[in-house]
Every structure is written in structure tokens, then in C-alpha cells.
Amino acid sequence: MDKRIYKFFSILALSLSVSVVSAQLTSSSVQRAISTPRDNVFEEIHAEFKKPVPYPPLRQADVMYQKRIWQKIDFREKMNQPFYYPINAHLGWKSFMTIILEALRSGELTAYDDRVDDEFTTPLTYRELESRLKGQADSIDQFDQNGVFLGKKITFPDAYQEGEVKTLKLKEVWYFDKQRSQMMVRILGLGPVREFIDSETQEKREQTLFWIYFPDVRPILAKSLVFNRKNSGARLTYDDIFWKRLFDSYVYKEENVYDREISQYALGMDALLESNRIKNEIFEMEQTLWEY
């Protein structure tokens, strides 16, 4: 009986000592976290709690005019550079493509096959997307210093590399809401475009990787900070960039009976003028609905 009581109290004392040591370690780690210098002049509000601005309600009966257009955002333009940089994540800043690929990898987002259509009809699994980003495999013979054949090495010469996406496609619907007496726009989809050198032809190629349904990606973009070149105190998110139209773009297609892009019937300066004509047509449509 005495031995059992002794064992009980010894186990109790050991558990108490372990709990005390763990509490001391926890408190010391908390103190270290609290005493860490703050890399700013104020406490930052965490972006993970942000939510996208909800769309205003819309009825079909209130849409007097509607036009569907496709635009491109070139990341090399000065206004659009926050989409591209930093190529590698740095101090909490991430490029647009880094955020998209991380969301696809974690399953928060779904990609749609651009080879079928741009109407979000064919979802892609991440395994299918990963194999597409790798490209076609190629084998290289390997030899040692004496010329003895060691085997074949599998490579992916056209695999996707960070920084290759320099253009973003936008699929939009412009409409006039008579309930608000305002021309408005909603983005339906985003399509990253990759630029790379083909390993076979050694020529520059463009490839649309996939399409993303924009309403699905908005909660993710609302939590992702983007660099504000004019005021670091006013933090913006990628959703703010799209919502406030803080980017420069040009039209490469409008809905038409032939379902063709501008580049199929106009080139060079004519294509640029056609793009501006489509933009002006939307602007003038809103103006002609009013009488002064």
C-alpha cells in the first residue's frame, strides 16, 4: 500500500514539474515575441481579416445596355508593375502569380481549361495543371568522363519559370444600370499569359495557362497586399486594384458574330485604333443616354 502511494505522489510531482517547465518555456517564448522590435511606426491591421466589397444587386430588367469585351494588362507598363514584382516573396509582399499558384495548390481556387473555351466549363485538377506547367518531357543521354553511357536524364526544357507571366487577360461585361443611371463593369475571368522561348524553334511564344472565375478569387485577392508606390501607409490589396480600376489595359477582343480577336483583322496602329474605338464606344454610349 505504501509503495503505491509513493508511486502516485512521485508521478504527480513529476507531472507538476513538467507543467511548470513548459509554462516557463511558453512564457519566455511569449516574452521574446513581445520584445521583438516592430518594423513599423504603428500596429498593422492584418490583411487576412479583409473581405471583398460586395457587388451591388442587379436585375436583368435594369440592364439597358450590355457589351462583353476582353482586355489585356501588360505587367511591363509602369502602372501595372505591382502585379509583377516582387518575383520572389519578400517581407510579406507577393506577386500576383505567386498568390494565384499558392491558392491553386492549396485547393482554395479552381483553374479552368483555356484550350476548351473561356466560359469556365472544364475545371482542371492541380495535378493536370502541374503537368501542363511542366510541359513535354525530354531525355538527355548522360556519359561519364570515360565516355561510358550512364543512362538518360529526364528534363522539362519548356517548364514554367517564375516571372514568365507578363500579361493578364480580363474578360469583362460592361452594362448600363438604369436603377443607378450608371455605366458599370464586372470582371468575369482572369487568364494569365506566359511568355517563353520555345526549346525546339527558339522562338518567342505566348501561352494562356488557364482561366480563373473572378468572383471565386476575390476573397483571396482581398487578403493579399499589393505595393502602393505613392503611399505606403495606405495599404491596397489586389482586389482594390481591380475594384478601383487602378491598372492600364487595352482591348484585344469584343463580342462579335465571327468570334475573332482584333489581331485577326487589324495589325499595328490599326489594331491600336480599333482598341481605342471600342473603349470610346462604351464611353459614348453612357453619354448619349443623357440629354443636356
β-sheet bridge partners, residue 174: 67, 185
Pick the more confident residue, 134 or 244: 244
Single out the residue of 118, 99, 122, 96 nearest to residue 109, CA to CA.
Answer: 99
> What pLDDT score was predicted for residue 32?
44
pLDDT grade for 71, boundaries at 50, 70 and 90:
very high
> What pLDDT score was predicted for residue 193?
96
Q: What is the pLDDT of residues 91-145, one digit of tens each?
A: 678 899 999 999 999 999 999 999 999 999 999 999 999 988 887 766 666 666 7
Q: Check pLDDT > 90 for residue 146.
A: no
Pick the more confident residue, 235 or 63: 63
Q: Are the C-beta atoms of residues 170 and 186 closer than 8 Å to each other? A: no
Q: What share of the chain is helix, strand, coil (3-state, %, to 5)?
A: 35, 25, 40
Angle made by CA atoms 109, 113, 114, in degrees to the nearest 5: 115
Single out the residue of 188, 192, 196 nearest to residue 208, CA to CA.
Answer: 192
Domain residue spans of the chain: 60-288
Give the mean model confidence (pLDDT) for residues 68-87. 93
> What pLDDT score was predicted for residue 134?
85
- Residue 119's contacts (CB-CB under 8 Å, 6 or more residues apart) are none
Q: What is the pLDDT of residues 6-45, one digit of tens each?
A: 555 566 555 555 454 444 444 444 444 456 676 666 666 6
> What pLDDT score was predicted for residue 286?
79
Pairing of strands 63-74, 123-124: unpaired
This prediction's pTM: 0.79
Instruction: Give dist(CA 140, CA 151) in Å, integer.
Output: 8
